[in-house]
Homo-oligomer: A and B are copies of this chain.
Amino acid sequence: MPYINIKITKEGATKEQKQQLIQGATNLLVEVLGKNPATTVVVIEEVDTDNWGIGGKQVSELRKQS
């Protein structure tokens, strides 16, 4: 019955990669805690790089500098 929310910056994750995140996160809960996969929910949220900050800086700006 777990609920897993994965927030990432919106930088081109493919449908296939999202499927891998969903499958992998579900398997993790099954393997570590014996949870039922049928009722395990995974929600991926993609956030604009202008809207994500770390170290007080926007990721969109950090990407330019690197």
Contacts and interface: CB of A to CB of B under 8 A. Distances in A.
Interface of A: 1-9, 13, 15, 17-29, 31-33, 35, 37-47, 50-61
A32 B39 contact: no
A28 to B, nearest CB: 4
A52 B43 contact: yes
Q: How many copies does the complex hold?
A: 6
Given A19-B58, A28-B24, A28-B28, A52 B1 contact: yes
Given A8-B2, A20-B32, A21-B32, A27 B43 contact: no
Given A8-B29, A28-B25, A51-B44, A58 B2 contact: no
A6 to B, nearest CB: 5
